[in-house]
Amino acid sequence: MMPRLFPYTGPVMTVTLGKKLFVYTGGLLVGLTLTTLLLLERSQSRQWERHFITQSVSFAKLATPELLKRFRGEFVAAERTLGQELFDFLAFNRDLVDFDLLSLSGRQLFRSSRFPDFIDYDPGAALQRLPVPYAVDPSGLEAVVLLPAKGHRLLEMTIPAFGPTGERVLLVRYRLSFASVDMRIREVRTHFLLIALASLAFSLLLAALVAGRVTRSIKALTQGVRTITRGDLAARIEADGRDEIATLGRAFNEMAASLRRSDNELKEKNQALVAANDELLQIQQHLIRAERLAAIGQLAAGVSHEIDNPVGIILGYAELLLEDTPPGDPRADDLQAIVDECKRCRRITGGLLGFARGNLGCYEPMELAQLTRDTVDSLRPQKIFRDIAVVLQLGSVPVVIEGDADQIRQVLVNLLLNAAQAMQGTGSLRIALDTTAAGCRLLVADSGPGVPGELQGKIFEPFFSTKDRGAGTGLGLSICRRLVEDHGGRLTVETKPGGGATFVLELPWRRAEKVFDIARQNSLG
């Protein structure tokens, strides 16, 4: 049965790019430094060893003839025959341990005592005899390196001694110590070790700086990408230098700038598209309303003409009968009702005829503030305005526009009467006038119940009315809007949160022809 394996749920060590760069760069620098120091140490050691052997050969060539002179074939108690001068000469070489005199057959004839620096030195048995790795002169000289059981290495050289006739007489064997060379090598190794440690610390510091430099740039790039991902296309990063990362940073900034330009272009086109769509909707609404008004106008003209004459005859007979009816006659009330309804019918037909015919108007300079004051003063005596507080905020500067004063007065009268009827003769009515760069705005605000949001778009349609049945024709606001639009203006309605309706009348300084072309700034091309 195979053992069940459980997934590891412990912490996972993240190996970042900075750590990798630190390890790789640091390892490479440490490896190069240690390799270089090792090669230098080996080269220095070999130079000192070669120098030591060369000096030792020169010493042997110089000391051998002097030794031959001193011995003269007497080898018994030979040390007593060694003069102090020769002893001092041999002892001058501080590396000399001792020497032997050998016959040509290799028999030991004499062995010196150890020199002062090596009196207590006991090399023991030689473990290994190694050839000298360097060429030595003269010919006939033999040299080997001894590796003793303890202590330092020894250089053993055997050199022939020649008699007066040039024949070989005997052999001299010198043993010299590598102690001074080994000491120097140890010192060099110690120095190189210190240098290696310092170089290691410097290499690790350099690797950390390189890794930090690279990772900081990459972190800045990562942060920039995340910032752009969140929608901030104005994000930029520092890209100083000429290396590949700086080039990548500049490429990132160019990409961000390109994205921002594209985003701005898309926003501009989207705004132009929205504006064009809104204008097309407005044009569509204007066309629909114009077609509807034209159809209603044609119908109203025909209906009014056909109804107005018989209604006028009925009204005339009813008034004659009412005049001939004695007071107290119960038929008088019926006749009065007929008269009132006939008059209402004539008002309706009159409104229909006015709506159908329209009026080109007489457009000339007019002072809107004074016209508004005169209109308010003409309505104040009416009973419905007696308990209404009218507040005028018209300013002291004349506001002169181009328009038909009678038509604007008709609009104002209709708006003021509608406001008074909505407040049922009690409340406050504020009329304010201000100017803009394009024209002027006249606000008529009442304290009535206001116009519900779902009805604000319908109250300007023909025959739509919120009044009681028989109280209005539903054509007043439609006629007002048409008159305002004939002046190149707009008539809208707003409802305050606390109640009350505000009709906004916007008129240009000069009347302009109605056009439905899309403005160039809204073009998508």
Task: Assess whether the previous peptide bond of 3 is cis (omega < 30° from 0).
Answer: no
pLDDT of residue 519: 40
User: Count H helices, E strands: the chain?
Assistant: 9, 13
Going by their DSSP bridges, the two strands 427-435 and 388-393 should be labelled as parallel
Task: State the helix-helix crossing angle for 405-422 and 476-486, rounded to 10 degrees.
Answer: 150
pLDDT of residue 386: 86
Contact 525, 501 (CB under 8 A): no
pLDDT digits (tens, 9 = 90+) for 83-93: 566 667 777 78
Structure tokens at 306: 């056909």
Distance CA 50, CA 44 (A): 10
Within its chain, how far is the Cα of 433 from the centroid?
48
pLDDT of residue 347 exceeding 80: no
- Host H or E run for residue 280: helix 244-324
Which amino acid would we find at residue 440? C
Contact 502, 495 (CB under 8 A): yes
Confidence category of residue 524, pLDDT binned at 50, 70, 90: very low
Confidence category of residue 444, pLDDT binned at 50, 70, 90: very high
Q: What is the mean predicted confidence (pLDDT) over 408-418?
A: 88
Contact 309, 303 (CB under 8 A): no
Confidence category of residue 1, pLDDT binned at 50, 70, 90: very low
End-to-end CA distance of the chain: 75
pTM above 0.75, yes or no: no
Structure tokens at 150: 């303890």
pLDDT of residue 326 exceeding 80: yes
**CA-based nearest residue to 495, from 435, 441, 454, 460:** 454
Q: What is the mean predicted confidence (pLDDT) over 357-375?
A: 82
Domains, the chain, in order of start with CATH, read 17-197 (3.30.450.20), 257-358 (1.10.287.130), 361-515 (3.30.565.10)
Which amino acid would we find at residue 517? D
Contact 502, 444 (CB under 8 A): yes
Q: Tokens 């070989």 belong to which residue?
A: 168
97-106, 289-298, 465-474: which has the highest mean pLDDT? 97-106
pLDDT of residue 525 exceeding 60: no
Alpha helices in 325-444 (DSSP H): 331-357, 368-379, 405-422
Confidence category of residue 430, pLDDT binned at 50, 70, 90: very high
3-state secondary structure of 442: strand
pLDDT digits (tens, 9 = 90+) for 147-191: 776 777 888 888 888 888 878 888 888 888 888 888 888 888 888
3-state secondary structure of 492: strand
Work out the angle at residue 75's Cα, subtended by the Cα atoms of residues 74 and 80, and round it to the nearest 5 degrees: 90
Distance CA 359, CA 478 (A): 14
Q: Does the CA dihedral 466-468-474-477 come out positive or negative?
A: negative
Which amino acid would we find at residue 424? Q
**Which is more confidently placed, 379 or 228?**
379
Q: What is the mean predicted confidence (pLDDT) over 380-389?
A: 87
